[in-house]
Structure 1
Amino acid sequence: MLMVLVLSLCGVALLLALAGLFAFGLRRRLLQRSGGTFDCNLRWNAPAPPDEYGGEYAGESDVEEQGRGSGQGSGGAQGAHGAGGRGVGGGKGWAYGIARYNGDQIEWFRVFSYAPRPRRFLERNRIEVLQRRNPEGEEELALLSDAVILACSLHGVRVELAMSEDALTGFLAWLEAAPPGQRVNVA
């Protein structure tokens, strides 16, 4: 009797785990069905690289509170904030996600989430590209092997996006294809 109960509970747990995995896969398929998606790691409020004197760049500050509402739509979702390892090359703070082009904005979804809404909205006219670099140190382990990191400023918040070379080409082309009159800064 006890053995049947244990086996039943194990079976239910296995079915729940499989249903969860199925839901992740289904959500990803639904996000990708409209096209215009790419894998994109994101680090919100990323640390500025040290300048030649060992400090941070002038003008870079921790504007997390100002940027928390920025770059978000009506969903009001909170961002993927980095915890420790705040130096450039630190592998912490990266969140794996899927980005989807939607008109003049990019919707960014966390991969390991069941939320149907985007976690972040990146508006084309608010993105300023600061630099492009390759992963360093622990980032090489935290990111996909072919990732290129693009450091941007969005509403005064430093945001880093890591994507493949092909996705980066598409992203930069999307930025440059802004309608006439929109300010676009692509480094």
Structure 2
Amino acid sequence: MPVWQWLLDAAGVLLGFVLLYGLGLVVRRRLLARNGGTFELSYRVRPGRAGRGWLLGLGRYSGEGLEWFRYFSLWPRPKRVLERSRLTFVGRRDPEGVEQMSLYPDHVVISCATPEGGVVELAMSPASLMGFQSWLEAGPPGTDWTRTTRPRTT
């Protein structure tokens, strides 16, 4: 068999894998959006480096948690879950420098504080931010928004 036929077969197999991966991403996105709306939500995994460490993804509200899924992953479970009771909105800002190329054009960067993880940075559209703030404020009755630790039970 000539070399060009081997190369053509290899290119065909590679193209088949790329198409299967793309189809898998589409099916996964449909399955994630099936039980409730998803929205574009970027998550910063390395906040120590200025403008770096952003991963594109999808957000989905699920009960008392905000689930974050990596965009180009086939894994069906969320990569990170942020609990509403342990999340405090700190502020928002526009993307700066390299972040403008890493994130979607209209997204804003928000900072949230968690007791165990410090500051978490997320990026979302202004409309999604309004929904996020509403979800965050709509906690169960009796929630003390000023507390930093869980109350002790006696």
TM-score (norm 2): 0.87
- SS for the counterpart of 1:161 is strand
Q: Verify the 8 A CA contact 2:46 2:52 in the aligned structure 1.
A: no
Does the C-alpha gap of structure 1 residues 96 and 183 become closer, same or farther in structure 2, counting only changes over 3 Å? Answer: farther
Of 135, 147, 150, 2:107 maps to 147
Q: Verify the 8 A CA contact 1:131 1:152 in the aligned structure 2.
A: yes
* Structure 1: distance between partners of 2:68 and 2:35: 14
* Structure 2: distance between partners of 1:39 and 1:155: 25
Q: Verify the 8 A CA contact 1:125 1:183 in the aligned structure 2.
A: no
Of 78, 82, 86, 1:122 maps to 82
Aligned to 1:158: 119
Mark the runs of 5 or more structure 2 residues left unpaired by the alignment.
Answer: 147-154
Aligned to 1:138: 98
Does the C-alpha gap of structure 1 residues 102 and 23 become closer, same or farther in structure 2, counting only changes over 3 Å? Answer: same
Ranges of 4+ aligned residues in structure 1 off by more than 6 Å: none
Determine if the alignment matches structure 1 residue 99 to structure 2 residue 100: no
Structure 1 residue 100, shift from structure 2 partner: 0.5
How large is the RMSD of aligned CA atoms in angstroms? 1.5
Structure 1 residue 143, shift from structure 2 partner: 0.8
Structure 1 residue 45, shift from structure 2 partner: 5.8
Determine if the alignment matches structure 1 residue 17 to structure 2 residue 15: no
* Structure 2: distance between partners of 1:32 and 1:5: 41
Does the C-alpha gap of structure 1 residues 45 and 91 become closer, same or farther in structure 2, counting only changes over 3 Å? Answer: closer
- SS for the counterpart of 1:144 is coil
Q: 1:166-177, aligned counterparts within 5 Å?
A: 166-177=127-138
1:89-138 CA-partner distances (Å, limit 9, x unpaired): x3211111101100010111101111111000100000011111111111
Paired AA for residue 86 in structure 2: R
The total of aligned residue pairs comes to 144
Q: Verify the 8 A CA contact 1:101 1:107 in the aligned structure 2.
A: yes
* Structure 2: distance between partners of 1:131 and 1:141: 21
Identity of aligned residues (%): 45
Q: Verify the 8 A CA contact 2:88 2:114 in the aligned structure 1.
A: yes
Does the C-alpha gap of structure 1 residues 13 and 45 become closer, same or farther in structure 2, counting only changes over 3 Å? Answer: closer
Structure 1 residue 43, shift from structure 2 partner: 1.1
